[in-house]
Amino acid sequence: MKNFTQSLLKVSLAAALTALSGSAVAGGFGLIEQSGSGMGNAFAGGAASAEDASTIYFNPAGMSRLKGKQIAVALHAINPSAKFTPSATATGGALQVAGNNGGDPGGWGYVPNGYFAMEIDPALSFGIGVNAPFGMQTEYDAGWIGRFQAMKSSIKTVNINPSISYRMSDTVTLGAGISYQKIDGELTSATNYSAAAFAAGGAPLLGAIGGAGVEGVTTVKGKDAAWGYNLGVLFNATPQTRVGLAYRSTINYTLNGTVSFSNRPALLAAAIPDGAVNLNIKMPDTFSASAFHQLNDKWDIMADATWTGWSVFKQLKIDRASGVNLTTVPENWSDTWRFAVGANHHYNDQWTARMGLAYDQTPVSDAFRTARIPDQDRTWLSLGGQYKPSKESAIDFAYTHLFISNATIADNKAAAGAGNLAGTYSSIATNILSVQYTHGF
């Protein structure tokens, strides 16, 4: 058993470290895709359903409903897409060609989850989860009009979350966990060497580096690890009804890494050197209230409301190790709510159909939208099912389509030589395919 658990954690951790080649699909750069069974209900009832070991993430108190030992492993294939159309006022970087529309900044991404839960005694349970609660990637075609503001933006996280639950009575169960979370980030953008040379030395220095059209790529990379915690409570109001409350804490990071400049003219090497950088970022806390009700032997209904404290993300500020600021981008995100409702229909002991609908607010306002995260409100429509080949095992599968509103952008950085990125992101949508295998023993 010990070797099996270690193998599960190793496989899940390795998968999480190499995953997330697509955009985030919850608001901002949050990832709610932590369960294949929950996906079929659009994660309605997440803190109250407690069907399997994935409850470790949504509400650790839910482990009280699981008997013996159980593993659950899931994989989510995510395909976001969007189209950017520049407006008439859009301009490229100074002394540069304007460029194209950037193509589709989305692409397939794969998000894995792994969980193990065990009953220590009738009142006490222990579990551990490995997942990726935050992540995103946008990547535009080379030579696009907004390249001096953003090319590739990548955030990857791995969360290891040991948890316990304690049944205080037949009505109330408490849960708690700690999170050890690692983060890797990479940001790239084009560097306008022509504009930098002209600003530093006028026409003579511009001519000395080759005139207009001289550009390269700035790459910023960093990583860190930090700690957080999560708490939960599950109330069994009646044998058919339960309510769950869950909280996940903020996590504070200081990413340390490097900045490098490609194709840099020798005359600008001293003014624009490679070197060490750091970035402070705080991941938001969340609070969820969920309900689950069994109408009869055939139907379950559930609902969820989740608040996320995205207002902690005020700016994207990258400093050199010397303390000199490399870049500061105002973000000024707002706190958000996500609401979901769902239902299950049990055809028989082996087959269950799932459905769900959710509305997910964006933390990004029109005034502060950037090309790195051109986020907007989204509506989830989820369909799924479960097949039980035996009493000990279950296979869940789900499909979700996200309808995402058009997003306007007006990010004028012409004064810094990065152009005026103005236009509309349209045809924005995301498709998600999820599968989960659960086994009890």
Integer Cα distance of 215 and 196 in angstroms: 10
Q: Give the DSSP letter of residue 268.
A: G
pLDDT one-digit tens code per residue, 114-128: 999 999 999 999 999
pTM for the predicted model, two decimal places: 0.93
Q: What is the mean pLDDT of the chain?
A: 94
Instruction: Write out the residue range of the structural domain in which residue 46 sits.
Output: 2-440
Of the candidates 225, 229, 287, 308, the residue with the CA atom closest to the CA atom of residue 28? 308
pLDDT tens by residue, 155-201:
999 999 999 999 999 999 999 999 999 999 999 999 999 999 999 99
CA–CA gap between residue 269 and residue 136 (Å, rounded) = 32
Alpha carbons 279 and 72: distance in angstroms, whole number = 35
Length of the chain: 441
pLDDT at 1: 39
Asked whether the beta carbons of 361 and 380 are under 8 A apart, the reply is no
Write out the two tokens for 132. Answer: 């990726």
Burial class (CB in 10 A: 0-12, 13-18, 19+), 322: exposed
Output b/e per residue, 237-250; b: 16+ Cβ within 10 A. Answer: eeeeebbbbbbbbe
**Do 297 and 239 contact (CB within 8 A), yes or no?**
no
Cα pseudo-dihedral 363, 364, 367, 373, rounded to 10: 160
Mean pLDDT of 127-137: 96
Q: Using DSSP, how many helices (H) and how many strands (E) does the chain show?
A: 4, 20
- Furthest-apart CA pair in the chain: how many Å? 82
Contact between 32 and 398 under an 8 Å Cβ cutoff? The reply is no
Q: Residue 42 pLDDT more than 60?
A: yes
Separation of alpha carbons 34 and 434, rounded Å: 10
Asked if 47 and 41 count as a contact pair (C-beta separation under 8 A), the reply is: no
Count structural domains, the chain: 1
Work out the end-to-end distance of the chain between its first and last CA atoms, rounded to an integer number of angstroms: 10
**372: domain CATH number?**
2.40.160.60
Rounded Cα distance between 46 and 62, Å, is 10
| Tokens (6 digits) for 265 | 């003219």
Cα–Cα distance measured from residue 256 to residue 271, given in angstroms and rounded to the nearest whole number: 22
Share of the chain above pLDDT 70, in %: 94
What tokens appear for 15 in the block?
A: 């998968």
Q: Tokens for 60?
A: 């650790």
pLDDT at 257: 98
Whole-number Å distance between alpha carbons of 354 and 243: 19
CA dist., res. 377 & res. 363, Å (int): 9
For residues 369 and 408, the answer to whether their CB atoms sit within 8 Å is yes
Ranges of beta strands (E only) in 12-122 are 69-86, 109-121
DSSP state of 312: G
Q: State yes or no: pLDDT of 6 exceeds 70.
A: no
What confidence tens digit (pLDDT) does each residue in 64-77 have? 999 999 999 999 99
Q: Mind listing the pLDDT tens digit for each residue in 145-165? A: 999 999 999 999 999 999 999
Up-side HSE of residue 2: CA atoms within 13 Å toward CB? 0
